[in-house]
Amino acid sequence: MNTVILDATPENISKCAALIRKGEVVAFPTETVYGLGANALDADAAAKVFRAKGRPATNPLIIHVADKSQIDAVAEVSDDARRLIDGFMPGALTLVLPKRGGVPDIVTAGYDTVAVRMPDHKVALDLIREAGVPVCAPSANTSARPSPTRASHVYDDLKGKIPAILDGGMCPLGLESTIVDMTKTPPKVLRAGAVEIDSVAEVIGDLDTEQVMVDTLAALKIPTNYVPKAELVFSAFYDNMSEVIARYYDSNVLTHGARPVIFCMNFNADKYGSRNVMLMGESVAEYAKLLFERIREAENLDYNLIIAEGVPMGGMGTTVLSRLIKLSGGKVI
Ligand code: AMP
Ligand code: MG
C-alpha cells in the first residue's frame, strides 16, 4: 500500500474523513501525539488499526469525539465524569466510562468500559466532525516504539501499512493523555500524562494513583513502551547531576566506545563542554513535549547511548519521570 503524507488543508481533511467513513485508517495530529484513527463503530475498521500497529488485541483503543454530546452516545456519564468533561474537554484527559451498546468489543478489548477523549486540536476535531462518527485511535506508532509527535515519525513506523497521514506539524504537547478510570471508587489514574493529576483531583476529590506506580515498576521488569535502538539511562535530580552525567558519558566513551548524547535543559548545556547534547528546552513542560522527538532524532543520528537529565518530582515532573523510568527500564545513574 502506498502511504501519502497530506498537508492538513480543508480538502485533505475531507479526503481523510471520507477514508474513515469507508472503513480505512488514517493518521492525524492531536495536541498530545499523532493518532491512528478508524470508525469506532466499525469492527473491521478497528481491526485494521490493531494490524497496522502490531498492537495486541488485549490493549483497548481510546474513542475520540469532536463534540461532548458524542460521548453520551458511546458511554454512560456520571456527575463526576460530567464535571471532568466540562472542565477538561477538549483536552488531554481521557476518561474510562461504562460502555453503551454499539461500540464493538474489539475497540474496548472486550471490556464493558470505554475510554473517551475530545482532542484540543483543530485538525483532529475537523476530521472527526467530517467523518461523522466517533474515531477510535491509539498513538500512530508501531507498538513498542515511542509515540509519534510529527508526521515523519508516523511515516517511519507505518509506511506501506496505511493509506494516509494528515500532517499538522509538531504536536503541541508531545505527550500522551492522562487516563482516569471513572468506573472505580475512588477514580483510578491509569496513566500519568499531559494533564496534571492534581488538577483533576481539584475537581472531583481523591484519586487512586497506585496503578501509575505499579505500571512504572512493572516496566522495570518488562520494558513495555519502547524497544530502544539507543540505550537510554537517566540521572536522578541531584545538585551535582551534570557532573554525574559527564563522568558517565566519558567512561562509556572510554570503556565501551559508545556514541552518547546528553538530553539536557538549555541552561545546563554549557556544563557539558564539547560533549554531544540535545536541548530539552527551558522548562519541565518543554522537556515533556520534546522527549519522544529527541529520542527519534538521537536514533536517526546513530547515537547508541542517551543520557537524560532527570527533573524534579511533582506536576509534569512526575509524568516525565514515569516516562524516563519506562523508556530506560529503570536505569538510573
Ligand atoms: P494509546 O492510545 O496507545 O495511548 O493507549 C490507550 C490506552 O488507554 C490503553 O493502553 C489503555 O491503557 C487505556 N484504555 C483504553 N480503553 C480502556 C478501557 N476500556 N479500560 C481501561 N483502559 C483503557
Ligand atoms: Mg500508545
Q: Where are the domains of the chain?
A: 4-208, 231-328
Q: Verify whether ligand 1 is closer than 6 Å to residue 36 (CB atom).
A: no
Assess whether the region 4-208 and the region 231-328 belong to the same CATH fold: no
Q: Which of 261, 286, 284, 256 is nearest to 272 (CA)?
A: 261
Instruction: Give, for all 333 residues of the chain, the pLDDT tens digit.
Output: 999 999 999 999 999 999 999 999 999 999 999 999 999 999 999 999 999 999 999 999 999 999 999 999 999 999 999 999 999 999 999 999 999 989 999 999 999 999 999 999 999 999 999 999 999 999 999 988 899 999 999 999 999 999 999 999 999 999 999 999 999 999 999 999 999 999 999 999 999 988 887 777 776 666 555 666 889 999 988 889 999 999 999 999 998 889 999 999 999 999 999 999 999 999 999 999 999 999 999 999 999 999 999 999 888 998 999 899 888 888 899
Report the nearest atom of ligand 1 relative to the CA of 99.
19
- Write out the three cell numbers for 58: 488485549
Superfamily for domain range 231-328: Threonylcarbamoyl-AMP synthase, C-terminal domain (3.40.50.11030)
Of 30, 53, 59, the one to substitute when testing ligand 1's pocket (max ligand atoms within 8 A of C-beta) is 59
Distances (CA, A) of 203 to 133, 287, 319: 29, 27, 20
Nearest ligand atom owner, CA of 157: 2
Question: For ligand 1, atom 21, which residue shows the shortest CA distance?
Answer: 96
List the CATH code of the domain at 4-208.
Answer: 3.90.870.10
| pTM greater than the 0.85 cutoff | yes
Is any ligand 1 atom within 6 A of the Cβ of residue 212? no
Centroid of ligand 2 to alpha carbon of 139 (angstroms): 4
One-letter-per-residue 3-state SS of 254-277: HHHCCCEEEEECHHHHHHHCCCCE
Q: Enumerate residues 6+ apart whose C-beta is below 8 A from 235.
A: 241, 244, 245, 248, 307, 308, 309, 310, 332, 333
